[in-house]
Structure 1
């Protein structure tokens, strides 16, 4: 039986992941602002904008965990400072706090997004954000940025770059692997928020290109695999789970099959 912490377990991908692990007989600790409706082993209420609350949860749950699955995130329809403080800083504080609570051979998997496309072209800007570790400083940083650039994309870019920079030290000091999973559009309750912020025509193009939007069942097995011993030599990676949409945009003309 594994011991799994799922942050963001009350809805969407996080709820499906918690259900998957619980059905497999694992001990699942759900961390969320709202209590999950599906069965879990334990629940801790947590607002990821509140560093003190994150610290209190971490101080309360003990050690010997096998995996942190950090799925929680809010869309770009929320206030910009909240988006960064939940999607980037809250994730960072949770991940760093969990490292000493995970057993050697454990894993951290964070859900990022294909909306983070281009993170590698913004490393200088993102590096400024990654130097900040308190919510007020993060909010002040965002206030200086171009308001036309989607803050949701920035938050997920920061999550990917932070994970890549954490991978080496986490492996060397704790024997823990850290990776991100980047889904494309997924049929969850916040899909309409993404249509509002990214444009419905963009999401319709994604769906037309690959045939459909993802379901949570397309994403959950990838997260579970990355958390398992079968992925023991994978760390510091961002795995796209998007039906090939980004590849179709970036790889040039497709091969014409007869």
Structure 2
């Protein structure tokens, strides 16, 4: 069966970037399977209600996808995520192990030439500085033990969202290499601050002045469409030579901060 007729699986379809990505794909006629903890108000496709905060929840979601897509799937977009205002164990379970678990569970369904897109974050720009630590955690064989090992690490428990997205960057590279023999591409997208229902959570987690200052500098916050269009591109065959990469979609915020101009503006 051609890729055009195979579904793409999306998580987090009930709101924000996930909902807008689903709309974007549906407009071009892509069959969809959506996963979320809460049912969407509108969704064009097969919906699977699942909680990705546990291994059992991930396995149940994968089983439901397999039942709905017996001929395979063309892609997977891991968009569901939990902000840092949630308990740190939940943040790491969903944002790290939910991503890893779903990719590996659905890999047998992904057809050659298929694509995976993971939602990272522009806050994880320095992920290579902690790559060894992220790798040990994100690639640990036992999820529960890995979470327990972080209980006394205040850098992780106090900055769980940051650490989780650094782990997503590590996972993206690792899974791209792991799935290369199957000719499955794995990339990530790193948004800056986006006007979604959890923007207020990011202000609380990362600092209200910092987040609102970023919006003022850029002239606006990002919109879900800004991110959805890039996810859509990475799922298309036209991006077939892009693999193991991250695309930062932040309106130039990272470039400004990295240029030194922010310090000069003081």
Displacement of 1:149 in angstroms is 4.4
Query: What CA distance in whole angstroms lies between the structure 2 residues aligned with 1:139 and 1:233?
Result: 35
What TM-score do you get using the length of structure 2 for normalisation? 0.90
Would you say 1:36 and 2:45 are equivalent positions? Answer: no
What TM-score do you get using the length of structure 1 for normalisation? 0.93
Would you say 1:138 and 2:146 are equivalent positions? Answer: yes
What residue number does 2:160 align with?
151
Displacement of 1:207 in angstroms is 1.2
Would you say 1:81 and 2:85 are equivalent positions? Answer: no
Question: Which of 194, 197, 210 pairs up with 2:202?
Answer: 194
Indicate conservation of the 8 Å contact 2:122/2:192, yes or no: yes
> Cα RMSD (Å) of the superposition?
1.6
Indicate conservation of the 8 Å contact 1:30/1:36, yes or no: no
Give the stretch that moved more between structures: 4-13 or 136-145: 136-145
Question: Which of 93, 96, 107 pairs up with 2:115?
Answer: 107
Indicate conservation of the 8 Å contact 2:188/2:247, yes or no: yes
Indicate conservation of the 8 Å contact 1:129/1:138, yes or no: yes
Task: Give the paired residue count.
Answer: 253
What residue number does 2:9 align with?
5
Query: What CA distance in whole angstroms lies between the structure 2 residues aligned with 1:239 and 1:137?
Result: 32
Q: Which SS does the other structure have where 2:196 is aligned?
A: coil
CA deviation map 1:172-231 (0-9, x unaligned): 2x1100000000000000000000011111102211222110000111110000000110
Displacement of 1:138 in angstroms is 3.0
Q: Which SS does the other structure have where 1:39 is aligned?
A: coil
Give the stretch that moved more between structures: 198-207 or 105-114: 198-207
Indicate conservation of the 8 Å contact 2:193/2:222, yes or no: yes
Query: What CA distance in whole angstroms lies between the structure 1 residues aligned with 2:228 and 2:13?
Result: 12
Indicate conservation of the 8 Å contact 1:84/1:138, yes or no: no
Query: What CA distance in whole angstroms lies between the structure 2 residues aligned with 1:110 and 1:240?
Result: 12
1:144-223 alignment, distance < 5 Å = 144-147=152-155, 149-172=158-181, 174-223=182-231
Query: What CA distance in whole angstroms lies between the structure 1 residues aligned with 2:61 and 2:218?
Result: 40
Structure 2: stretches of 5+ with no match in the other structure: none
Query: What CA distance in whole angstroms lies between the structure 1 residues aligned with 2:77 and 2:43?
Result: 17
Query: What CA distance in whole angstroms lies between the structure 2 residues aligned with 1:7 and 1:202?
Result: 28
Query: What CA distance in whole angstroms lies between the structure 2 residues aligned with 1:133 and 1:210?
Result: 42
Displacement of 1:134 in angstroms is 3.6
Indicate conservation of the 8 Å contact 2:48/2:61, yes or no: yes
Structure 1: stretches of 5+ with no match in the other structure: none
